[in-house]
Amino acid sequence: MIESRSTDREFVVEMDNERRAWLRFGDGTHGALPPAGVSLLADYRVGGGLAGNVGREAIAHVVWTTNVSGLITSVRNPIAAQGGTEPQSIEEVKLFAPQAFRKRLERAITAEDYAAIAEREFPLEVQRSASGLRWNGSWYEALVVIDVRGSDEASPDLLGRVRCRLYNYRRIGHDLRVEAAIRVPVLVSLAVCVKAVYLRAHVLADLEAEFGTKVLPNGRLPFFHPG
C-alpha cells in the first residue's frame, strides 16, 4: 500500500502460518483509515487445494438455496478438474524467496550494474550504455555514458532523466555522473575493383550510401548509421 493515497479505500489480505486471513487497512496516509466502530462485511472465495481437483464423473447433483425444479435435468463432469494446488509452505518460501530478488536488479553495486539499469529503464531511448567507477580522491564516482538510439547526440533532458532514475538505484557513497557517449573517429580505406561494364561513379555513389549515416531509400540502415 505504499502508493495508496489517504482517500483510497484499499486493504491487503495477509495469511498467517495457520492459514487464517487477516485484513490490513490503511493508516490515513497510505490508504484510508476505517472509522472507529464501523461494521465490515467480507465476501470472499476459498480454494480447495488438491482436493478441489475432482475426478471425472464425480459431480452429479446441484443444490439450490431456494425451491427450484425443472431447470436442470442432469449434471456431470466428463473431464477431471485441474489447477488446484496446495498453499506454499513457509519453509519453501524462505528457501526460494532469495532467488526471486535476484531476478531483477534493484541496486547498482558494480559499474556494470549502472549500465544494465540504464538500458533496462530506457529501452526506447538508450541503445547501449557503459559505466566505470573512478576514484576522485575521496570516494568513487560512477560515470555512466549512454548511446542514444538513432542519434549521435543526447539531449540534456534525457541525460537528466537517466541520472534521476539511476540515483534511486545507486550505492550509498557513490557519486553519479551521466554523459553522452563520445564517438571515436576511425579512418577506413577501401580499395574497390570495378568491372569494365560498370561506371565507377555509380559504384562510388552506392558505396558511399552503404557506408554512410543516413537511412537508405529502401528503409535499411547503412553501416555507419548511429542506430
Residue 62 lies in a domain: no
pLDDT of residue 106: 87
As a whole number, mean pLDDT of residues 186-207 equals: 92
Cβ–Cβ contacts within 10 Å for residue 141, how many?
A: 14
Query: Domain check: are 115 and 159 in the same one?
Result: yes
Which residue has better confidence, 169 or 88? 169
DSSP code of 171? P
pLDDT of residue 78: 93
DSSP code of 23? E
Residue 199 lies in a domain: yes
**CB-based contact 139:146 (threshold 8 Å):** no
**CB-based contact 180:151 (threshold 8 Å):** no
Query: Domain check: are 173 and 189 in the same one?
Result: no
Whether the per-residue pLDDT at 224 is higher than 90: the answer is no
pLDDT in tens, 151-183: 878 899 999 999 999 999 999 889 999 999 888
pLDDT of residue 27: 92
Closest CA to 166 of 124, 127, 131, 128: 131
pLDDT in tens, 32-76: 999 999 998 988 887 778 888 989 999 988 887 777 666 788 899
**Total number of domains constituting the chain:** 3
Residue 58 lies in a domain: no
pLDDT of residue 177: 93
Residue 210 lies in a domain: yes
Domain containing 124 equals 111-180
